[in-house]
Amino acid sequence: MHTDQLNVSCGAEPSFADPVERFLVSISAQPLPLGPGKVMWQFPSCIWKNSIHITRRRSYHVASFSGGALEHIRQVEHWWQELLWLLGSVPHTVSKLEIAHDLPVDGADSIASLQALVPGETSKLLSRKGLPVEWFLAQRDADQRYTGTMYIGKGTTARLKLKVYDKAHERRVRVGLLLPPTTRYELTFMKDYKGGGISLRDAYEPERLFWDGMPGDLLSRPPGVAPWSPADGVGWSAGSPVDRLPADILSRRVSDSAELDVLARIADEMGPGGRVWLLRRLAERLGVEVQGSLSMAPVASPAASEA
């Protein structure tokens, strides 16, 4: 069980936006500006689709993390803890939290059971008023059985929504990845779930919140899972951030920058002064005045300097 999507908002001052982006730079994420006040970050080394959106508006800021990005970050435990600490370092609101739970069950079997349990176009599994049910099904090539996805509450403003799908089929069709039979259950909790109170602790320890929202008719709560309450995240901290010196972050980022390598090669097409011209443009972009003349000169490697 894990957090598969996370949206957090805060005021414009104080804000977690700058510290979070500093953290993303330190763990080799790459930024892509999407327009005024919005940047998408991605991990190029990640084999699956991933994105982190940082949005800055005049009165508020928002950080949105996809499942792929969170999975990449969770590969290093202290990264996940540090991210949650940074998000929680200022007054904030968890506006959306999606929790995924995988079971080793053939998706076609799960879909067949769900069709018997949810026969109509609406369902009261999540709400007394009833929410719309949508099915997206297809026949598997291997056995001609129907499988796919069921949604409850999709496209609505409901505080709790459900998605159940054949994860093995989805991975095989989308990216050609072979998984054993797997059914995924995803619950999406909005900020006003049960009066509000979902927290970053729920992102780090999702079991209690997941089983609070999961209908018993669908899955039974395992023994030993403590009940959830809206105050579970009060006073909770994921730990403390790693002390990364700015010079270390910048030095590593410059050394590892493939983009700088490409820019240098393009500058070389301008002739002997191309890299000097590029350096002046970089200084201008950084708001730094370059005094005097610049010239190309060989730079000794660290090994040569030590010798």
- What tens digit of pLDDT does each residue of 113-148 get? 999 999 989 999 998 889 999 999 999 888 889 999
Query: Is 153 part of any domain?
Result: no
pLDDT of residue 297: 57
* pLDDT (0 to 100) of residue 135: 96
Percentage of the chain exceeding pLDDT 70 = 92
**Contact indicator for 96, 200 with CB cutoff of 8 Å:** no
Q: What is the pLDDT of residue 287?
A: 86
* Mean of pLDDT over the chain: 88
Burial 2-22 (b: 16+ CB within 10 A, else e): ebbbbbbbbeeeebbbebbbe
For the cut 60, the answer to whether the pLDDT of residue 290 exceeds it is yes
The number of distinct structural domains making up the chain is 1
Write down the pLDDT at residue 54: 97
Question: Where is pLDDT greater, at 155 or 303?
Answer: 155
The widest CA-to-CA distance across the chain, in whole angstroms, is 79
The pTM score is 0.84
Judge whether 169 lies within some domain: no
CA atoms within 13 A on the CB side of 169: 26
Q: Does the residue 276 lie in any domain? A: yes
Query: What confidence score (pLDDT) does residue 295 get?
Result: 63
Residue 284 lies in a domain: yes
pLDDT at 294: 65
What is the domain extent for residue 281?
A: 258-290
In a domain, 267, yes or no: yes
3-state secondary structure of 87: helix
Q: pLDDT value at position 304?
A: 43
Residue 235 lies in a domain: no
Please, which pLDDT band fits residue 282 given cuts at 50, 70 and 90? Answer: confident
CA distance linking residue 98 with residue 161, whole number of Å: 9
- Examine residue 133 and state whether it is found in any structural domain, yes or no: no
How much is the average pLDDT of 159-168? 96
Residue 39 belongs to some domain of the structure: no
DSSP string, 48-84: S---EEEEE-SSEEEEEE-HHHHHHHHTSHHHHHHHH
pLDDT in tens, 32-85: 999 999 999 999 877 778 899 999 999 999 999 999 999 999 998 889 999 999
Euclidean distance between CA atoms 9 and 2, whole angstroms? 21
